[in-house]
Amino acid sequence: MSVAIEKAIALVTGANRGVGRAITEALLEAGAIKIYTAVRDLSSVDELIERYGDRIVPIEFDLTRPDTTVAAAVVAKDVNLVVSNAGVLNISDPLAENAVESLQFQMEGNVYSLIRIAQAFGPVLKANGGGALAQMNSLASLKNFLPFTTYSASKAAAYSVTQGLRDAWAEQGTQVISILAGPLKTDMSDSAGMGEGAPSPDVAAEALVDALKSGDFLVYPDAMAEGAGQAYSAFADNVINADQGEG
């Protein structure tokens, strides 16, 4: 399963900055027809509109407002690619007083939002020939990192849901991609103290474009991720991809 980028009509959440913006630009440069830029503030993509014109269609999207996901699926009913990129991050270790509240917040923003996106856009992708969904996961999906325990837990859950979506959508021909990235140079990583020396978010965008062509499920876009991916490969080949015919 793969999506022809030259025929892609995509929706990218959090498209106004960081990884989401890099993905939006990479898809357009690779020939995508149109991108619905799903953001909280529609004016935040004015720069993209100036550059790409009517190939950019701003659409309201807020992780904390499920109604915006439903409304987006009604408007963007022609999409054949959905990129679930927007997410949240809190710093909290398992013994912190706010650990439960922190986990609840990140489960809402990183996991429940993915499920809502999948439920809203799954029928749209099916109607448009199957298409693809890419989920921005993390190395924190595979290993818990202090002091980001609750964030890591939410990303592990998101990765698990991503696996479930691949199985659930196999019959309708929807390609599912899990991008397992290390820290990238974004506002979020900077605020968490992980941005210094981190690679550009362009590496995630380039890796997504490649995965759309190759049909790969697991994507390791940066050097840190590649190293972890090599260590993880035996388990991934024999367990995660065992029923998918992937090597």
pLDDT bracket for residue 118 (50, 70, 90): very high
**Predicted structure pTM score:** 0.94
DSSP string, 133-189: EEEEEEGGGTS--TT-HHHHHHHHHHHHHHHHHHHHTTTTT-EEEEEEE---SSHHH
Q: What is the mean pLDDT of residues 102-118?
A: 97
The C-alpha angle with vertex 137 and arms to 131 and 141, in degrees rounded to 5, equals 135
pLDDT at 36: 98
Q: Look at the domain 5-240 and name its fold.
A: Rossmann fold (3.40.50)
Residue 194, pLDDT > 70, answer no
The answer to whether the CB of 184 falls within 8 A of the CB of 167 is no
Q: What is the mean pLDDT of residues 161-183?
A: 96
DSSP state of 63: T
pLDDT at 1: 55
Average pLDDT over the chain reads 93
Summarised one tens digit per residue, pLDDT across range 73-100 is 999 999 999 999 999 999 999 999 999 9
The verdict on whether omega for the bond into residue 147 sits within 30 degrees of 0, i.e. cis, is yes
**Per-domain residue ranges of the chain:** 5-240
pLDDT bracket for residue 247 (50, 70, 90): very low
Q: What is the mean pLDDT of residues 93-118?
A: 97
First to last CA, the chain: 15
Q: What is the mean pLDDT of residues 165-180?
A: 97
pLDDT at 187: 60
Residue type, 45: V
pLDDT at 199: 79
Residue 11, pLDDT > 60, answer yes
43-48-52-54 Cα dihedral, nearest 10 degrees: -20
**3-state percent helix, strand, coil for the chain, nearest multiple of 5:** 50, 15, 35
